[in-house]
Amino acid sequence: MYFNSAPCGLKDNVPHQRRNFHFDLWFCLTLQNWILDFGRPIVMIFLPLEWFPLNKPSAGDYFHMAYNVITPFLMLKLIERSPRALPRSAVYLCIITFVMGASIHLVGDSINHRLLLSGYQLHLSVRENPIIKDLKPASLIDSFELLYFYDEQLGHLMWYIPFFIILFIYFTGCFTKAREQKKIPVSGWLLLGPSALYYWYLVTEGQITELFLLTFLAMVVVVISKQRKGLSPDSNGLFLFCSFSVTVLLVALWVIYLWSDPVLRNKYPGLIYVPEPWSYYTLHIKQDH
């Protein structure tokens, strides 16, 4: 059937094909992640408020819109370059869900930014925030909690689950027997730090530690399984695996650093304690200035 066929340009098995490191795609992904995702809240802080009235989209909103278009495009290009056939239907469903989740987050995050300008504190829960807890009628608080749910939970899950599924699907095709294809080039090592640091931000700010760890463990299982068949990650697979490995280390260091913070402990009471960087910012940096 058409929908079960491989994406155009992908071959089922190409053991003799030279697999080049996709520096252009990894560089573009890393660059746009830092600018359009990480840089989104920063640009909203530094640009004059009068340039972007509160009843109009902010600069960060435009960054988010660009991210919602560029990221799925780059991920599709990454999938196209996979040396083996990948399930087209799964990829398309992931891309569609990714765009929908990121768009939900765009709306919620846009309103959340306006709340920040009005005194909303990220390190506090919705009902504990000074500008929210005294709202009348009280049902308005429920509306803001619904907004928080769409922004921080549903939006993140629909955004990040397909994101990591696509990366995992791509990773499963990045294995080879050729020794010369198992090395990360210098350009890849230069990208490794920024890439891993961004994934740290993604995991901590997106509150997706469990999802990330499951993806990483699945990658480890795939590596072990493939090695039994004499296969190892090629340069692209190794780059992705090393990026995730460094990210695990960075997340662990972040948790250790904030392990005894009572305020953040109160906001993140779950079994897995991983505070958000922007909550740390509003609690320890913004209040000190």
Do 243 and 192 contact (CB within 8 A), yes or no? Answer: yes
What would the mean pLDDT of 245-255 be, rounded to a whole number? 96
Measured between alpha carbons, how far is 130 from 134 in angstroms, rounded to an integer?
A: 7
Task: Please check whether residue 284 lies inside any domain of the structure.
Answer: no
What would the mean pLDDT of 240-267 be, rounded to a whole number? 93
Structurally, the chain folds into a number of domains equal to 1
Q: What is the CA radius of gyration of the chain?
A: 21
Looking at residue 176, what DSSP letter applies? Answer: E
Measured between alpha carbons, how far is 261 from 123 in angstroms, rounded to an integer?
A: 11
**pLDDT of 15 strictly over 70:** no
* Residues 179-223: tens digit of each pLDDT: 777 889 999 999 999 999 999 999 998 889 999 999 999 999 999
Do 85 and 14 contact (CB within 8 A), yes or no? Answer: no
Task: Please check whether residue 264 lies inside any domain of the structure.
Answer: no
Measured between alpha carbons, how far is 19 from 5 in angstroms, rounded to an integer?
A: 22
Give the pLDDT score at 114: 79
Q: Before 72, cis peptide (omega within 30)?
A: no
- Please give the single-letter amino acid code of residue 240: L
Task: Please check whether residue 220 lies inside any domain of the structure.
Answer: yes
Q: Look at residue 253 and give its three-state secondary structure.
A: helix
Site of tokens 């995991």: 203
* Residues 73-127: tens digit of each pLDDT: 999 999 999 888 888 899 999 999 999 999 999 988 888 877 877 777 767 778 8
Give the global pTM.
0.83
Q: Which two tokens stand for residue 1?
A: 């059937």
Task: Please check whether residue 167 lies inside any domain of the structure.
Answer: yes
Q: Which two tokens stand for residue 224?
A: 């072990």
Give the pLDDT score at 5: 40
**pLDDT of 288 strictly over 70:** no
Task: Please check whether residue 1 lies inside any domain of the structure.
Answer: no
Task: Please check whether residue 266 lies inside any domain of the structure.
Answer: no
Residue 3's pLDDT band, with cuts at 50, 70 and 90, is very low
Give the pLDDT score at 16: 43
* Residues 132-145: tens digit of each pLDDT: 877 778 788 888 88
Task: Please check whether residue 224 lies inside any domain of the structure.
Answer: yes
Site of tokens 């520096």: 23
Do 37 and 44 contact (CB within 8 A), yes or no? Answer: no
Domain region containing 205? 20-257
Measured between alpha carbons, how far is 285 from 133 in angstroms, rounded to an integer?
A: 24
Task: Please check whether residue 63 lies inside any domain of the structure.
Answer: yes
Q: Helices then strands (H, E): number in the chain?
A: 11, 2
Give the pLDDT score at 125: 79
- Please give the single-letter amino acid code of residue 188: G
Cβ count near 231 (within 10 Å) = 19
